[in-house]
Each structure stands twice: as C-alpha cells, then as structure tokens.
Amino acid sequence: MKRSLSAIKPTGKLTLGNYIGALKNFPKFQDEYENFIFVADLHALTLPIEPQTLYENTRDLVALYLACGLDPNKTTIFLQSDVSEHSELNAIIQNYLYMGELSRMTQFKDKSKKLNQNAIGLGLFAYPVLMAADIILYNADVVPVGEDQKQHVELCRDLVHRFNTRYNKEVFKMPTPIIPKTGARIMSLTDPSVKMSKSGEKGDIYLLEDLKSVEKKIMRATTDLGSDIKYDKENKPGISNLLTIYASLKDISIEEAENIFSNCHRYGDFKKEVAKVVTDELSKIQTKYKEIIDANIIDKVLKDGAKKAKECANKVLKDAQRTIGLYGK
C-alpha cells in the first residue's frame, strides 16, 4: 500500500487556508493509502512561542484533525516530538543539504525579513531539513500540502536523489507533493495580495472562530471594481479568492462556481452565499471539535499513534545509519 504523510505546525489558530489547502484533503487518503498525519510541534519552536500556547494549540490541532474526519483506526496520528527518530535523522541529513539552497527558500526569506537580523534562529534556517526527515522517515509516496510547502518538498526530493546516488542504494523513497487544484493558496480577506495565515490578522478566518465574526469578515472582505463574479486573479483578486473558497468548500471547479453566479451582479449577494457555505462547514467542524474535547480521547490517540509511527520510523533510521557507516543498533 502506498503511503501518504503530512503535518501542520501548532504555531497559531488554524485558518480556513490551512483547512482548504491541506487539512480538508487529509482524510481523502486514509482509505487508499497508509496515512500518517502528525503535529509538527518541533517546527513550532522555530519562532518564539509561549509554552502554554504551544500546549493548547497542539491539543486543539489534534482535536481538529479528528473533527475534520481523520479516523485513528485508519490514520496514524502523532506528535513529531514523541518520535525521537525525527531529530536523529535530522542530525544526519543536515550534512547532505547545503546552506546555499536553504537560504533560497522563500518561506525562510519571508519570515526572516520580519525578524531582528541578529536574532534569526538556526532552527528557522534549517527548517526544511527537519521537514525532509519527517517525510523520508515514513517512506512517504505522496505529501499533500498547500502551495507554500511545495518548495520544501522539492528540496526533500533533491536530498533523496543526492543521498541515494551517493550510496548507490534506494535508502529513501522519492516523495511527490500533492497540491490541490483549487485552494492551494487562500489569500487574506482584507488584502488578497498576501496569504491567509495563522498570525492573527483581521483578514484571516479561524476554524474555531465565532460564526458571527466569520460572517462579518466575509461581508467586509475587500472586493474589486465592477460587479461581475468572475475569476481573474490579476484584476479581481478579492472576488477570485472568495470564488476559490466557495468552489473548494462545495467541491466544484472554479468554472462551475462562476456559472452558479453568472446572473448575480451584486457583490453583497455573492458574499452572503460564500459566508453561508463557510459558516455551515465551520459549524460542523466546531460541533465535532467540542465532542472530541469532551470525550477526552486525545492522549490515547497520540499514545497509540506514536507507537505505530516509531516502529516505522526506526526501520528507516537504522537503514540510513548502517548505510553511512554508523552502527545503527
């Protein structure tokens, strides 16, 4: 059976962007693939975070994984920090990735720009190394992610090629990123030129946000000149973003979404429909989230998941260790 693997880092409140670009797609893999989904809690340390915030975000993220349809009987759900093999393999493969290629990563450039230049953590720079370790430890065939993570998966592919060629053996499996056709990059509602993110801006929608507030944000979303509901990223970035959200949640194409609104010439009416689709989806997720928190099952899910993940990761780690001349006992 082929394997699928992905993760989200618990740095902030999960957004509608995370949901549409990644989380919504995770359960699709659990019937036909061996599915590994984890919380990238070590990655969350790459920018300063309060211990309590990290702890709560981690619990919320696991609950949201379950609320969005991941079934612990079909998907191995675990915390990155519970499987020490991630850090061990990271220590090895960091020697096979180059500082030049890491410094070209768009996400590093964007994030480091906003920091004091004398206090950029090494972990932020080396972030894609750990992410590559995450992927290859599970022999992942596919990695479903949003567009902003594609470059990191491609770097992982370079590493796999470099490592396997160096040792003339298929030690690591070559992963393929799976990027959704629609919704791989959801933009901010107040500024459709920037990505929706967990950083707490007014234009971001959170999965656990109050539904009235969500509705208000959508009704106030930045729109463009004209009154037609047409997808045109350059001239109508606001409407295009709302159309993308609508189409993704309805599981239809952008063209089908445009057809539905071909006779609608009032942005307000269109926004009402978008708000309805979004709040309906979030309402379902929030109800399930509450049930999961009340059922107190998270610790058990994580314990079982870590055990299964460790078994798999340990084999790959040992093979890599022996290949390069470490004892790998």
- Count the residues of the shown chain that bind ligand TYM, applying the rule CB under 6 A: 25
Judged by CB under 6 A, the residue of 3, 4, 8, 159 near ligand TYM is 8
Least separation, in Å, of the C-beta of 98 and ligand TYM? Answer: 19
Task: Mark whether 308 is an active-site residue.
Answer: no
Task: Mark whether 307 is an active-site residue.
Answer: no
Applying CB under 6 A, the span of 19-27, 213-221, 278-286, 299-307 interacting with ligand TYM comes to: 19-27
Which positions from 176 through 195 interact with ligand TYM, judged by CB under 6 A? 184-186, 195
Task: Mark whether 111 is an active-site residue.
Answer: yes
Judged by CB under 6 A, the residue of 4, 6, 223, 244 near ligand TYM is 6
Pair type for strands 34-39 and 176-178:
unpaired
Least separation, in Å, of the C-beta of 290 and ligand TYM? Answer: 23
The catalytic position among 9, 13, 24, 195 is: 195
135 binds ligand TYM (CB under 6 A): yes
58 and 39 in contact (C-beta within 8 Å)?
Answer: yes
38 and 310 in contact (C-beta within 8 Å)?
Answer: no
Least separation, in Å, of the C-beta of 97 and ligand TYM? Answer: 15
The catalytic position among 9, 198, 236, 271 is: 198
Closer by beta carbon to ligand TYM, 190 or else 327: 190
Which positions from 21 through 80 interact with ligand TYM, judged by CB under 6 A? 21-22, 40, 43
204 binds ligand TYM (CB under 6 A): no
Residues noted as catalytic:
111, 195, 198
